[in-house]
Amino acid sequence: MKHYSDIIYSPVVTEKSMKERQNNIYTFKVAKSATKDEIKSAIEEAFKVSVASVNTLNTKTKRRRVGKYEGTTKAYKKAMVTLKQGSTIDL
């Protein structure tokens, strides 16, 4: 089994993800090859909480410009983790 730091990269900090924390839904960037079961066990091991469900999605690249330079953002996998009632994560 992989170590949880190989699966969980970082929390996603946006306005929407901060609002969802009130409903016990936390958003993380995860490894592209990670399955829902691996993500669930990694979150439980890393933060010592009980996970109710895991939803994942693959983000696509977006074109961005800075002045005359043009490029794309990186594609990554995002996991929305719903915790059981009474569990919280301090980030």
Per residue in 9-61, pLDDT tens? 999 999 999 999 999 999 999 999 999 999 999 999 999 999 999 999 999 99
- How many Å apart are CA 50 and CA 53, to the nearest integer? 9
On whether the CB atoms of residues 25 and 53 are closer than 8 A, the answer is: no
Task: Supply the range of the domain harboring residue 54.
Answer: 4-83
- How many Å apart are CA 1 and CA 37, to the nearest integer? 11
Q: What is the CA radius of gyration of the chain?
A: 15
- Is the residue at 65 inside a domain? yes
- Is the residue at 90 inside a domain? no
Confidence of residue 3 (pLDDT cuts 50, 70, 90): confident
User: Which whole number is the average pLDDT over 56-77?
Assistant: 96
pLDDT at 10: 95
Domain count, the chain: 1
Confidence of residue 76 (pLDDT cuts 50, 70, 90): very high
* pTM of the shown model: 0.86
- CATH number, domain of 77, equals 3.30.70.330
- Is the residue at 49 inside a domain? yes
- Is the residue at 11 inside a domain? yes
DSSP string covering 11-51: E---HHHHHHGGGTEEEEEE-TT--HHHHHHHHHHHH---E
